[in-house]
Chain A
Amino acid sequence: MTKIGLEIHCQLTKLESKLFCPCKANYRDNEPNSNICPICMGLPGTLPRLNQKAIEKATLIAMALNCSTPEKIAFFRKNYFYPDLPKNFQITQLNIYGDTSIGGIGEITIGEKKIRITRIQLEEDPGRLIYEGSSSKNQITLVDYNRAGTPLVEIVTEPDFENPKQVRDFLKVLSDLLENLDVSDPSLEGAMRADANVSILGGNKVEIKNINSFHDLEKAVHFEITRQESLHSRNIPIVQETRHWDDQRKITISSRSKEGDLDYRYFLEGDIPWIKIGIDVQEKLKSTMPESIVSKKERYVKNYGIPEQVAEVLSSDKYYSDLFDESHNQTNAKEISNIITTDLMGLADTREKREQSKLNSSHLSDLADAILSGKLTRNSAKNALYEIIKSGKELSTIISELDLGNVSDKNKLEEIIKQVMLEEPQAVEESKSNPQTINFLVGKVMQKTRGKADPQLTLELLKKNLD
């Protein structure tokens, strides 16, 4: 039986500042060592200055994963020397001296599968090491402390996963959940990292470290299971060890470091007094918690008759569900859900596209209303959507600028139909024996009007003219 447990590190990228100082939590796109201050550089005499918002966000995560949330939490020091660690200890949490971590035991159900959460802890991210030089002989290590002190939440699971697919499903649900809580943007590089432990057939546990994206996590787990199975089939013992994920070669490599043997000499961080998160505070936090993905989905199906599958897609992506919730009313809800899940998804599928997009919620409701009132065909609506995303102009402006309005003028349409019938005498003839040919003629009319002809009206008029 295969057992997989995860340790997931998630940066709270939606916070303004680092966990213990006023530097920016968003360290990306900065010159190396420019997003630093005496505190996150661990200069002599500085003390951690706790970011209360981080406590709140991390508590939300614990609540969303149905974890117990203690009324008092504490921070501990994890002592070890490493160049990316300015103080040579990391301020983190643990539960060996009582439940003092921000989240205790919990569980989450993915489909039919229950995954137990061991604990959730809040801690500081170290800096980043950058290796340069072609061979180990001339290799140099550069340190960038911009990231040092970024708030990080570690989610530890029990070894409840049995295969890589369950891992993937869990990660999908987890990243949607984190995004929905507005605590983190999982699409940012390095925002989500993980360690995994894998064992097969009740054998020795192998830990895989250094997995820098969710995407690779599934691959790493898959690789490791295959590796262990292959050893087992050849009667080679599986050693208990720590392996590193090589994200270039996509394999795990035995790490010679003695990380397992390190004694971290954990003890209470005296510079941060115990933090009370009383029931009242927890209740207040709960009330500010965004609606869960599950509840959104149910609402979409129940209130608007949106099909299950569409509701699933819509609710699990915060970007789409926010747009939907801001734009819809009872009448246009279903149409908006269609626009989002059929057209918008292709046009705003990456983080960059979403950031550049000029689309807002009123654009969406305008589009849906135009379709429902017959002003725009679905086809033209798609063209308009493309333009809106690019320019952010009002729908009405785009309709007139691009001449997208429906051709629903009977006389004008009749004129076009007559012209098509003249140009396609063979099809006209054939349509008398084969009614399917009429669709070909509708297509020709659409071509002439660049998709703007009202399809219902076109069909009616064609039939009339053919008779």
Chain B
Amino acid sequence: MNLKISALEFIEEVKTGNISVEDFISATIDQIKNIDEKLHAFLHVNPESVEQAKKIDKKIKLGEKVGSCFGMPISIKDNICIKNSKTTCASKMLENFTAPYDATVISKLKEQDAIFVGKVNLDEFAMGLTTEFSAFGPSRNPWNTDYVPGGSSGGSAVSVSAFECVASLGSDTGGSVRNPASFCSTVGYKPTYGLISRYGLISYANSIEQIGPITRTVKDTAFLLNIISGLDPNDNTTIDSGNADFLTDIDSGIEGKKIGVIQEMIGDGIDPAVLSATNDAVSKLEGLGAICEPVSIDMVKYSVASYYTITATEAGSNLARFDNLRYGYDLPLEGYEFNSYISKARTKFGPEVIRRMILGGFVPSAGHAGKYFLKSLKVKSKLTKEVNDAFTKFDYLVAPTVPVLPFKIGEKIDDPIALFLVDINTVIANLTGIPSISVPFSISNGLPIGIQLLAKQNDDKKLLQAARALETTVQLPEVPI
């Protein structure tokens, strides 16, 4: 069984009867069994996958209506709720939490007969960009298992890259989909804020994060967006995309389009290999008929500081509900009043979560808010203005997804500032709400490099066209697993 096919190819194969869903799912489960001990993408494998596959095969055989996913195996980041299945956020705090409801994206995929083969690893509560902060151990990069796969949706990117599923859903708060996509050589998409319902995504920094697909091809991302996007009464921040079909016209190309190359993202601190890949990407975009010009976005230099201040503030509030009173783990009440009990219960959080909670308690506090939190909001709105101004001149912006190559597990874990700076190119899309995609572009010394394209708010369809155009120029080696 060839597992190395895209989502759209999988659908074709099933539709034409070349493969059965059961065979494909069984082979996928075998692949997970064989390889995941090494990679640790999965926290939980769905034991009913094969049974579900059989049911879909039966429906196909009987000529009954089958959803557009045709039993496609999808992995789900473990901060998205699937009814009656454990949703841990890779935290000891939620080790035993079973979600009593489906996230909106899950309901939509279920309706289309997707099969959730399992829940995948992340940095605890999506706080991190290496997956090393998972309370259940790091995931490893399939391109070189000594290296981090990126994060926080590391499990998603690893599972797609290592053929343990056809596609995955991650979440992107500051690059958490695009960063691991770049490190593992997959497509990673952060949509316009509000395009996809967050209902059922366990919040980290709710005002800027989005669920996003991680796939093998740009078209697969468009296909998934068609299913999971749209207004949701359970998420008041969702926007009406007017039933956009992201797949039609995806091959329109970018001839005559203007693309700004963000200068602040190809300067100091960039790895030479990444710089050279970016220059190469710009040439290729020009080769496709686009007009590329440098553009400066001054606020980029403050964006990481602003990002961490805002996310810490929101995280401090969003994670406050984990007090172990209504759900959680066994911790007897005797000998505590509620304040001491809550404090005790919350010691189950891991070090990175605690670091950000402390920060989140401080930066918006009385006497400090003006210096930190409110100032960060100012940066956010100035940045948004600068970015919007840039889009009056350009159709797209381009930059490397991550300024550095994947690094070794353990290399940066003790240096939070160095880690934070890895986010510098991705956070602007979150702070400004614009869509952004990472496209696999090249391999340097056996390690992947992704190129990031950005478009203005609600230009998701147009962004996918550019990403598709860039993708056609790329030929990459196969992942060495």
Q: Which residues of A are at the interface with B, using a C-beta cutoff of 8 A? A: 38, 41-50, 77, 79, 81-83, 86-89, 141, 143, 263, 265-268, 270-273
Contacts and interface: CB of A to CB of B under 8 A. Distances in A.
A44 B94 contact: yes
A20 to B, nearest CB: 9
Contact of A38 (B101, B317, B342, B364): B101
Contacts of A47: 198-199, 203, 206, 234-237
Given A43-B100, A79-B320, A273-B237, A267 B325 contact: no
Contact of B338 (A46, A141, A266, A267): A141
B316 A79 contact: yes
B24 interface: no
A45 B236 contact: no
Nearest to B198: A47
Contact of B202 (A45, A86, A272): A45
A46 B199 contact: yes
B338 A83 contact: yes
Contacts of B199: 45-47
Interface string B333-372: 0000011001000000000000000000100111001000
Counting chain B CB atoms within 10 Å of each CB, the highest count among A47, A82, A267 belongs to: A47
B316 A45 contact: no
B450 interface: no
Interface string B124-142: 0000000000000000000
B200 A88 contact: no
A272 B236 CA distance: 6
Contacts of B326: 41-43, 86
A143 B321 contact: no
B360 to A, nearest CB: 8
Contacts of A48: 236
Interface in B269-327: 313-314, 316-317, 320-323, 325-327
A45 B338 contact: no
Contact of A44 (B202, B208, B339, B369): B202
Counting chain B CB atoms within 10 Å of each CB, the highest count among A79, A89, A266 belongs to: A79
A268 B316 CA distance: 13
B236 A50 contact: yes
Contacts of B322: 44
B234 A79 contact: no
A47 B101 CA distance: 13
SS class of chain A's interface: helix, strand, loop or mixed?
loop
Given A79-B320, A89-B320, A45 B87 contact: yes
Given A48-B236, A49-B236, A50-B236, A270 B323 contact: no
B233 A271 contact: no
B314 A270 contact: yes
A304 to B, nearest CB: 48
A271 B365 contact: no
Contacts of B234: 46-47, 49
B373 interface: yes
Contact of B321 (A86, A141, A263, A265): A86
Counting chain B CB atoms within 10 Å of each CB, the highest count among A44, A49, A82, A268 belongs to: A44
Contacts of A265: 313, 316-317, 361, 364-366, 369
24 contacts: A38-B100, A41-B326, A42-B326, A43-B327, A44-B94, A44-B97, A44-B321, A45-B87, A45-B199, A45-B200, A45-B203, A46-B101, A46-B234, A81-B320, A81-B342, A82-B338, A83-B323, A88-B320, A89-B317, A265-B317, A265-B361, A265-B365, A270-B206, A271-B237
Nearest to A38: B101
A41 B366 CA distance: 28
A87 B338 CA distance: 15
A271 B197 CA distance: 11
A369 B377 CA distance: 70
Nearest to B314: A270
A87 B203 CA distance: 12
A47 B196 CA distance: 14
A463 B361 CA distance: 92
Contacts of B198: 47
User: Shortest 6 CB-CB distances between A and B: which pairs?
Assistant: A270-B207, A88-B320, A44-B202, A45-B200, A265-B364, A45-B81
A267 B365 contact: no
A267 B80 contact: no
Contacts of B338: 81-83, 141
A270 B313 CA distance: 12
B431 interface: no
A46 B342 CA distance: 21
B100 A45 contact: no
A89 B206 CA distance: 14
A266 B103 CA distance: 28
Contacts of B207: 268, 270-271
A425 B366 CA distance: 93
A44 B81 contact: yes
B100 A273 contact: no
Nearest to B201: A45
A266 B317 CA distance: 10
B247 interface: no
Contact of A270 (B79, B237, B364, B373): B237
Contacts of A270: 206-208, 237, 314
Counting chain A CB atoms within 10 Å of each CB, the highest count among B100, B199, B208, B322 belongs to: B199
Counting chain A CB atoms within 10 Å of each CB, the highest count among B99, B326, B338 belongs to: B326
A44 B366 contact: no
A44 B321 CA distance: 8
Contacts of A266: 364
B135 to A, nearest CB: 15
Contacts of A82: 338
A87 B321 contact: yes
Contacts of A141: 338
Contacts of B208: 270
Contacts of B99: 43-45
Interface string B220-257: 00000000000001111100000000000000000000
Contacts of B369: 265
A268 B326 CA distance: 26
Given A45-B202, A265-B316, A273-B237, A143 B325 contact: yes
A46 B234 CA distance: 8
B317 A79 contact: yes
B372 to A, nearest CB: 12
Nearest to A44: B202
